Amino acid sequence: MKIIAYGMRDDEMPYLKQWSKDNGIEVKAIPDLLDDSTVDQAKGYDGAVVYQQKPYTASVLDKLASFGIKSLSLRNVGVDNIDADAIKRNGIKVTNVPAYSPNAIAELTATQLMRLLRKTNTFDRKIAHGDLRWAPDIADELDQMTVGVIATGRIGRKAINIYRGFGAKIVAYDIYHNPELEKEGIYVDTLDELYAQADVISLHSPATKENEHMLDDDAFSKMKDGVFILNPARGALIDTDALIRALDSGKVAGAALDVYENEVGIFNTDFGSFDAIPDERLKNLIKRENVLVTPHIAFYTKTAAKNMTQFALTSNVNLITKGTDESEVKF
């Protein structure tokens, strides 16, 4: 059996080599992403393991299928960049890694919330200019606040545990209710109820056609004044222009964004200087003391890199040998 792994980073390679040795399976690893210019390299392989944020297009998926590759294993969780029609048309089976490290995402989200509440960004900037005064930058305490968690999958639940460790009250919204959380009575029936109660909104939902720009002008208008917004999930969940308006008006007191709706081709790129970042709205956000932008790094831990690589390879073998895997994604 032969597997090709696209878009392999140096930090993933030791985990791939270990898996290959442990399982006695040959894996060809290449740094290139899977697109029209690289798809031919998959000829002769039985399955492909991939990670990228740019789209898996119909033409690439058609070609993979024409080479007889019907087993595609993503090293990440999100499947919003896959052409679902092409997957179905070609009978390609897809797996993802739904739980490479929910903790990784939850930990960064909570870290950024604490940084926002304690205004560390403001103090860092003041100190850099020799200003060591306290006022007027007095903080809020999470212990006294209500966190509204949108989506209570694995990541949302990890985040809830961390927020609870700080003493926060939790309200949650999800179409699917987790039985344990249901017993605790933390679910509200509508997003509007969550908006009305939450001092902090923590987004943990996948991106779908239905929830694009879930946080728009209308949603912000229903939130408490001075709400904090945390988005480690998907950029498309927030209408960036509406967020900027809400920051300008003070409706939103601070935001931590690990994702951004136009991040593809921008995040994980070195532009050499701040001015060279080719996105004015993103620069507008980064410049603000009360906005913490990170370039989609919440997942980027050693535990996650190991699990993403090794779980995806194992799922790919299952697809190739058994035609299915517990992480198969239904389109």
Does residue 314 interact with ligand COI by CB under 6 A?
no
Can 107 be counted among the known catalytic residues? Answer: no
Q: Per CB under 6 A, does 296 bind ligand COI?
A: yes
Binding residue for ligand COI (CB under 6 A) from 299, 307, 316, 320? 299
Least Å distance between CB 28 and ligand COI? 21
Please give the distance of CA 173 from its chain centroid, rounded to a whole number.
18
Give the number of C-alpha atoms closer than 13 A to the C-alpha of residue 56, restricted to the C-beta side: 28
Q: Measured from the CB of residue 125, what is the shortest distance to ligand COI in angstroms?
A: 28
- Based on CB atoms, which residue is closest to ligand COI, 63 or 306? 306
Bridge partner residues of 227 (DSSP): 252
* Residue 307 engages ligand COI in binding (rule: CB under 6 A): no
Provide φ and ψ at 103, rounded to 5°: -60, -40
- 263 is annotated as an active-site residue: yes
Minimum CB separation of residue 299 from ligand COI in Å reads: 4
Residues between 234 and 273 with contacts to ligand COI, criterion CB under 6 A: none
Q: Give the residue with the Cβ less far from ligand COI, 78 or 153.
A: 78
Pair type for strands 47-50 and 71-74: parallel
What are the Cα distances from residue 301, in Å, to 29, 44, 192, 307? Answer: 20, 33, 34, 10
Which residues, other chains included, contact 14 with Cβ-Cβ below 8 Å and sequence gap of 6+? none
Binding-site string for ligand COI from residue 64 to residue 103, where x marks contact by CB under 6 A and - marks none: ------------xxx-------------------------
76/251 with CB nearer ligand COI: 76
Question: Which of the following is catalytic: 75, 157, 204, 234?
Answer: 234
Catalytic residue among 12, 75, 157, 263: 263
Measured CA to CA, the distance from residue 154 to residue 300 in angstroms comes to 17
Sorted by sequence, the CB contacts under 8 Å of residue 181 that are 6+ apart come out as: 152, 157, 160, 172, 187
Per-position DSSP letters for 92-127, written without gaps between them: -EEE--TTS-HHHHHHHHHHHHHHHHTTHHHHHHHH
Do the Cβ atoms of 266 and 260 come closer than 8 Å?
Answer: yes
Task: Name which of residues 21 to 60 contact ligand COI (CB under 6 A).
Answer: 51
| Residue 296 annotated among the catalytic residues of the structure | yes
Residues that bind ligand COI (CB under 6 A): 51, 76-78, 296, 299
Enumerate the active-site residues. Answer: 234, 263, 296
